[in-house]
Amino acid sequence: MSVPKPTCKDKIETEDELRSIIGEPSELVRKKVISYVDDHCKDFISRSPFLVISTSDASGCCDVSPRGDTPGFALVLDEKHIIIPERPGNKRIDTMRNILSNPKAGLLFLIPGLGETLRVNGKAYLVKDDILLERMAHHGKKPLVGICIEVEECFIHCAKAMKRSGLWEPETWSEKDSLPNAAKILIDHTKIPDMTEKELNKALQEDYLTELY
């Protein structure tokens, strides 16, 4: 007898149906959200060298993108505004195009070794103020633009995902030689002729050395 394949057709359609499965949050969880960056959140951001930013365009097409630099690279201007420097990248400008058409964003700040994360949601816009960009210069190089988040929600997120994944536990990591190879993936996906995996890997490593800022 054949075993039926799982599908995604049995959908949950309403919040009431979802709540009947998940349940209600505790009072602590309901009350943990604040609408500004307090001293605790400012300290967290000052220690974070890495964040992910989620955006969507006007039609709802979503994107998530990493940002990283030295700890505190995201600049807290005041309790309602955070600036993220936009360093040189792949020029796809997915995040920034989305912000232009739908000025909302969500941030997730991580600190290596810490299970808890910090979530920030709010309005988003792009800035080019020279004095502001100068404050975020690295080795004399200013960011191209800044992504400003006008904070609407700010809250700590528990460590369960980190505990389950073992993300910060080196003994759970795969051997480096067994990890996915970016050059091979790009060769297979782009089908660019006359480009070998070795050549592309060399080009990537050179770019990582010379084009970070």
* pLDDT for 108: 99
32 backbone dihedrals φ, ψ, rounded to 5°: -75, -15
Tell me the two tokens of residue 175: 């051997």
Mean pLDDT within 73-84: 98
Q: Copy the structure tokens of residue 181.
A: 């190879």
The answer as to whether 90 is a domain residue is yes
CATH number of the domain enclosing 158: 2.30.110.10
Residues 96 and 199 in one domain: no
What DSSP element (H or E) covers 65?
A: strand 62-68
Per the domain annotation, does 18 fall within a domain? Answer: no
Query: What's the pLDDT tens digit per position in 14-24?
Result: 999 999 999 99
Q: Categorize the per-residue pLDDT at 64 as very low, low, confident or very high, splitting at 50, 70 and 90.
A: very high
Residue-level pLDDT at 74: 98
* The total number of structural domains that make up the chain: 2
Paired strand residues for 122: 105, 151
Residue 70 falls inside a structural domain: yes
Residues 98 and 196 reside in one and the same domain: no
Residue 16 lies in a domain: no
Q: What does the block give as tokens for 195?
A: 């480009």
Same domain, 131 and 195: no
Both structure tokens of 178? 């067994």
Residues 48 and 125 in one domain: yes
Domain membership flag for residue 22 = no
Per-residue pLDDT tens over the stretch 100-127? 999 999 999 999 999 999 999 999 999 9
Task: Tell how strand 81-86 and strand 75-78 pair up.
Answer: antiparallel
What pLDDT score was predicted for residue 1? 65
Residues 145 and 51 occupy one common structural domain = yes
Provide the pLDDT for residue 19: 97
Q: Looking at the domain assignment, is residue 7 inside a domain?
A: no
Give per-residue pLDDT as tens, 129-176.
999 999 999 989 999 999 999 999 999 999 999 999 999 999 999 999
Residues spanned by the domain of 35? 27-165
Q: Decide if pLDDT at 184 tops 90.
A: yes
Total-model pTM: 0.94
Tell me, yes or no, whether 157 and 179 share the same domain: no
Residue 157 belongs to some domain of the structure: yes
Q: Are residues 111 and 149 in the same domain?
A: yes
